[in-house]
Each structure stands twice: as C-alpha cells, then as structure tokens.
Structure 1
Amino acid sequence: MSANELPIAFVSAGDVVAANIALPIAGLIIVPLRFWMRTSRKMGIQIDDWLILAALVFVIGMSIAQLYGVSQHAVGYPSRDYATPIEQLTSLPPEQRLTELIYWITWLLMLPANGLIKLSTVFLYRRIFLVGKGSAFGITSTAVGLICLLWTIAFFFATVFGCGTHVDRAWGTLADIMSCNTNMRLDAMMISDLITDVMVWALPIPVVWGLRISVARKLAVIAVFMLAGASLAAAVVRLIIQIQISHGGYSAHTNVNLTLTTNLYWCIIESGIALIASCLPTLRVLFRITTISSAYNSLRSKLGMSTQSSEMRVRSMNMGDSLDKMPSLNIHVNQGFSVETETKRSSSDRSDKSLV
C-alpha cells in the first residue's frame, strides 16, 4: 500500500543521494582542517581529534551503503503494494530485503559514529576547560563520557545479536523482524540516543555561564557549542517515525521501503551534522583569521596599499593584539586551575590565546 500514515513526509531517492554526498564531502573538508589547525598552531593532536576522524570513517560508510541501495533501485523507491496486511507481513521482494539490509548496516555504522562524535565532544570540552582534579566539571564530563561509551557498546551488540543467532532475520520478512522485538530495541535506542545527545551538548553551558563576562559573550560562546544541537532535530524526527511504526505495527498502511528510506535519510542527517558541528569550536579560530584577512585585503585593494603592508597588519592582528576588541570570544583556562577558580578571575586577566 502506497499510503503514508507517518507524520513525516517520505523522502525521495534524490534526497538520499544529495544528503549522502554533501555531508561526507563536508566532513572530508572540515576534519582535515581541524587537524591542520591543531598542527599549525602547535596545539598537538589529541584524543578528541582522533575520535572525530574515526567517526568520519563510519559516516562515510553509512553514505556508501545508502548510495548503493539507491543505485539498486531499492532505497528511495517504493516497495510492492500488497493486497492484505498478512501478505505485507509474509512477503519479501528483493528490493525490500535490500532496503532492510541497508537499514541494518546503517545502524551498525551509525552507533559507533554517533558514539565517537559524543566522546570526541566530551574530550574537546575537557581540553578547552582544563579542570582541577576532583572539580565538578571534571567529574560530570567523565560520567557523561562513560555513559556514551557504554551506550555505544551496548546498543551495537544489541543490534548485531538482536535476533540471537538468526542474524539474517533483521532483513527478512516483517514477520521475522517482528519476532525479534526490533521495535522495542529501536525505541529504546532512539530515546537514549536523544537523551545522551542533550547531555553532551548541554555539558559546557554551566561552565560558560559561570565565566565573568558579559551576557552577550556568554550567549555567543554557548551558541558555538550548541551548533551541534542541530542534529537533535534529526534525532527527534527519526524518533517520531519510529514511535509511529511501533504504535501502528508492521502491518500499518504505509510503504515499507519508503518508510525505511525516510528513517535512513534522517540517520545520515543526524550523524553528518553532528560531526561537522563538533569541529566548529576548533575551526572558529580559522574563520576569524579568514575574516580578518579578507577585510584587510579588501581595504588594501581600495586604498592601494602594498601586499607586504597588508600582510604585516594581518599578522599583527592574528598574533593576538587587542583580541578583546574582536567580536569573538577566546576562552582560556590555565592548566592547574579548576574551572571554579578560573571563573572568579576577571576577563581582563585571562590569556587571549584560544585553545579551540
């Protein structure tokens, strides 16, 4: 049956292709830029960088799987119409079987991808806010990181062995899938994924809010950290679809392939956006330098200034002269001090060197 009882519109094969090309390419640009920024500014490559690189590999794997499904006219294409709900439960056309297999593979790749992105973000926060031993932020961030790690491991193996030793039932008939209690597992997985996302993205808010700076600058910094929260919207959409499937049952009057395709689309949207946004706190320094350089180059062209003079001025700005006059905020917490100690210092005493 081709009707759509979902509260979310079906996506087309073209939508799937666009998302699975654009997001990995953006990741292939952003992640190397992150490494370049680390090395060029002599910050050193640390665990948060390696974790995000590993996450990129899994995101690319998700895209390859989905693009292959589209190339076989399975993902993004409607499955066969059925005369009765019983026929829908027991029939398994080749294109539906492939779509179900791609869906299962995507989850196997998305779980470590999302888990690595969350862990990378937690380690990035700990790198930015160098905390004293036993500080509240240190304990909280460690707990959140541990929860994300256990979540990734637990649901990865739950997905692999969701049907026990009968692994292939995960891409069998709808009756086979239903026998594995797949909906219950997916409900728990998506809800907990959303909860851990909120925990991770909200982690730095209390720390930033405790800094002795203007409210406007606090909000600006929080906005940079919360850009990854855009992926939460995709997670919510995917959860809405799953709840509708669980409520309506596998025999609901909706197209199987297009329903799974819509879920696949929002899976890559969530992981791709989260990966890109998690790199932005690091790359904001690059954006600031680029903006300054572009402004001076434009001024040089208008005033006929020499290239050497312009470059010297840009270099002077980038060396940290009067950075407090710039609209961006540079947070620096000295090693050996707790966050609580740092927040008590006035903003004028802080170093202008950015660690992100």
Structure 2
Amino acid sequence: MTSRSGDDFPFPYASTGDCYAIGIALPAVAMVVVGLRMYTRRTQRAALGADDWLIVGGLVSIIAMGICFIYGAATGAMGQPTPPPPDGLTDEEMLSYIDPGYEVLEKIQFPFQIFMMLAYAFIKMGIVAFYRRLFVVDKRSVFGIVTLVTQVVLVLWSLTFILLVIFPCGRHIWANWGATGDQLALCPVVFTSEYGLTGSDLILDVYIFLLPLPCVWKLHMTTQRKVMVSGILLLAAMAVAASIARLVVYVKAITLLTAGSDVDEKLVVTLGLYWSLLESGLALIAACLPTLSSLFFKKKGGKSLTMMLQSLRSVFSLRSSNRSVRSEDSQPIYLQRTFKVDVENGSSGQLAKPVETTGTGAAANAPYEVSRT
C-alpha cells in the first residue's frame, strides 16, 4: 500500500504490486480451499450438495475478479496515479476529458462489479445452504422457513444490484466508462447505489453469520462444545471485518469525491475494488472452514465438526418425529449413515458413541444407536 503527499484521502492506496498480488494470490488460495472442500466430501463418501455447487460458483466469480485485477495492473489502469490533464483545458473541456488509463479502469470496473455481485450472492447463499444441510430436518420448522426466506431475499438482493451495476445510466451503458460530464448528466444513481450496496452487504453478512447460533445454543450439550461449534461457524467474522473496512473506504471516498476534494479518483476506485475482492475471497475461505475442520481434527485424533454436527442433526431428527427413524432423509447429506433409534419408556434421550468397525462397504457404515423418551 502506498500514500501520496498532498492527497486528502486518509487511507493508503493499492500499488501495482498490490494489484498483482491480490489478483493472483487470493484466487489461487480460494482454488486450493475449494479443492480441499471437494476432497473432504470425497473422503466422507458424500454427494456434493447445493452448498458445494454455490461455493464453486463463488470461486469462478473470484477467479474472474482476479483476472480483472491482473489485466488492470498490466495495462497501468490499476495501481498507478492519474497523470495531470493537458494544459489549457477550459472548465467545459475538463468535464468532457477522460484520462485513457481511467477509461480502461472504468471498463474493467464494469464486469468486475457484475462478478463481484455474483460472488457475494453465491457465497452467501452457499453459507445458508450449508446451514440448511446441517440443521433443517423438517422444512416446515421455523429455522427451515427462515433460511428459505433468506435465500429468496439474497436472490432478489443480488439481482437488484446487478441491474443497478449494468443500468445506472439507463440505456446509456457506455456512460459507465464515459467522461465526468456524461456520468453527472446520465448516471444519477451511481453514488446512491454504492451506499446501498456496501451498507446492505454488511448487514447481510452479520445476519448470515449469526443465523445458526440460536440452533446451536438451544441444544442439550456442554457449554464447551457449544462454544467450540459456535467458534468454528463464526470464523467467517474475518469476512465481516473486510466488509466493514470496505464500507469505510467507500463512504470516505464518495464523501471526498462529491465534495471536490484533492483525491486521485483512479486510485480510489482501485482501492474500492481491492477491498471488494479481499472481502469475497475471505468470505469464500471462511465458508469452507467448517467443512475442512474434519481434516484438521482427523489428523489431531479428535472429533471433527462434521461428526459432532452429525450427532446434533440426529437430535433434530428425534425431536421432529415420534417414531423410529431409518430414512436417509433425516441424516446429513455429507455423512449418509443408517441410524438405529430405540424408543424406551422412561429413558432419557442420550446419544451413544458410534459402533467401532473396521473395513469398508457395509461395515464402514456403522449404525449410531440413539435412544429417547
């Protein structure tokens, strides 16, 4: 990050090296993490679910965003200050003048923001789908209905802002990368939509990452285990932090630009896109961490999050039914095993440890014995 003397912008700008670094490193790390997620599913002998495919969609969008950054850095459109305009331009000519490098940046920003919205939508919906995979047994339950409504809201939210990205200037799409005068005349909703996007994005991030906690803390389990499960699910707080930083940068940039302060608009736009890519990458990584926890705990010899949540889901299954359950519909998609439920009068609901087995095939699918009142 670099700063410029005499510039009113309080935050350091992203340099050309920063643009190359985030455009290459973050998509590469995201590909490794998603690859490990798929490997984990395979080791669990589980079919890929909607949450997995949504995360793949987010990965593709992040890769496209990274390509935009690499191209922008290579052409000098990103990470380099705006050269001064030619001497002798009148005020009217200044409104119609556009720096060639800034014009390239605006053309890069147009597809970048579309991929950005797709990444936000895919990753957020993937996280909610993961919650449904873990906790929703009865689709008519409160949590099932809330998460379904959340998915609908996310679809409508993303479509709304994709349309605002494409048509802020109405039918004059070319004005998105036009001169200042053209944008002031034809694009009246640009700054308003930026405020709406950054604010609503942060609100949705906080809401989504807090969404499963009531389900966890209502379960009959030790406080230590509740804290452990909640902590893994809340690892995505780092994406919320990036979202907050992005909101601060956007608000400050828009305030200074509308006030006519001495800021380099080209570098300001680059920095805003930089934080957008960083937020998307961190959100995707955080969305994969609960699944990848099984690899870590397996190596450490402990009980993985997926195994704990398998037991949790069996509790939800028992609460939603007054009969023995043997259908795979009440089990996690990622670990489809046969559960044996014994109903005994007068006994308290307890979860027994899984039966130890060796080998593969039917022997590997050892039943879990569960009894309840």
Identify the TM-score tier after normalising by the shorter chain.
0.7 to 0.9
Equivalent positions of 1:251-290 (< 5 A) are 251-290=260-299
Give, in angstroms, the shift of residue 248 of structure 1.
Answer: 2.7
1:305-342 deviation digits (Å, cap 9, x = unpaired):
xxxxxxxxxxxx8xxxxx4xx89971221274458999
Partner of 2:26: 23
The equivalent position to 2:224 in structure 1, one of 207, 216, 225, is: 216
Q: Does 1:242 align with 2:245?
A: no
Deviation at 1:200, TM superposition (A): 1.2
Counterparts of 1:193 and 1:73 in 2: how far apart (Å)? 30
Q: Cα distance 1:242–1:45, how it changes in 2: closer, same or farther (>3 A)?
A: same
Give the drift of 1:229: 2.1
1:102 Cα deviation from its structure 2 partner: 1.7
Q: Match of 1:312?
A: none
Do the aligned partners of 1:131 and 1:338 also contact (CA within 8 Å) in 2?
Answer: no
In the alignment, residue 74 of structure 2 is paired with which amino acid? S
> How has the CA–CA distance of structure 1 residues 28 and 214 changed in structure 2, closer, same or farther, with 3 Å as cutoff?
same
For structure 1, which segment, 273-282 or 76-85, has the greater mean C-alpha deviation from structure 2 after superposition? 76-85
CA deviation after TM superposition for structure 1 residue 195, in Å: 1.2
**Distance (whole Å) between structure 2 residues aligned to residue 152 and residue 128 of structure 1:** 25
Tell me the equivalent position of 1:7: 10
Give me the whole-angstrom Cα distance separating, in 1, the residues matched to 2:103 and 2:167. 18
Q: 1:238 to 1:85 in 2, by over 3 A?
A: farther
- What residue number does 2:53 align with? 50
Measured in 1, the distance between the counterparts of 2:45 and 2:96 equals 60
1:212·1:346 contact (CA, 8 Å) conserved in 2?
no
Task: Summarize the Cα distance change of 1:328–1:248 in structure 2 as closer, same or farther, 3 Å threshold.
Answer: same
Q: Which residue does the alignment assign to 1:115? A: 121
1:15 and 1:187, CA in 2 relative to 1: closer, same or farther beyond 3 A?
same
- What is residue 228 of structure 1 aligned with on the other side? 236
Deviation at 1:171? Answer: 1.3
Number of residue pairs the alignment of both structures matches: 320
For residue 99 of structure 1, the aligned residue among 94, 105, 114 is: 105
Q: CA 1:222 to 1:161, structure 2 compared with 1: closer, same or farther past 3 Å?
A: same
Give the aligned partner of residue 166 of structure 2: 160
Preserved contact between residue 2 and residue 253 of structure 1 (Cα < 8 Å): no
Looking at structure 2, the residues matched to 67 and 339 of structure 1 have their Cα atoms a distance apart, in angstroms, of 52
Distance 1:158 1:338, change over 3 A: farther
Residue type at the aligned position of 2:308:
N
Alpha-carbon spacing, 1:211–1:7, altered in 2? closer, same or farther (3 Å): farther
Tell me: CA distance 1:262–1:349, structure 2 relative to 1, closer, same or farther (3 Å).
same
DSSP 3-state at the match of 1:133: coil
Structure 1 pair 66/164, CA: closer, same or farther in 2 (3 Å)? Answer: same
Identity %: 31
Structure showing greater Rg: 2
Is residue 2:309 matched to residue 1:331? yes
- CA positional deviation for 1:183: 0.4
Structure 2 counterpart SS, 1:5: coil
The Cα offsets for residues 183-209 of structure 1, whole Å up to 9 and x where unpaired, read as 011111111111111121111111111
Note the alpha carbon deviations across 1:218-252, whole angstroms, 9 max, x for none: 22211211112211222222212222233233432
CA distance in 1 between partners of 2:97 and 2:130 (Å): 48
Pair 1:217–1:329, CA change in 2 (3 A): farther
Structure 1: tracts of 5 or more residues without a match = 293-316, 318-322
Which range is displaced more, 145-154 or 96-105? 96-105
* Residue type of the alignment partner of 1:162: P
SS in 1 for 2:309: coil
Mapped to 2, the partners of 1:31 and 1:327 lie a distance apart of 18
CA–CA distance in structure 2, aligned partners of residues 347 and 53 of structure 1: 38
Instruction: String of CA shifts for 1:104-143, please: whole Å, max 9, x gaps.
Output: 2211100011100000110101101133232111111111
Give the match for residue 196 of structure 1. 204
Give the match for residue 80 of structure 1.
Answer: 83
- Report which of the two has the higher share of helix: 1
CA distance in 2, matches of 1:35, 1:327: 16
User: How far off its partner does 1:351 sit?
Assistant: 6.3
Cα displacement (A) at 1:257: 1.3
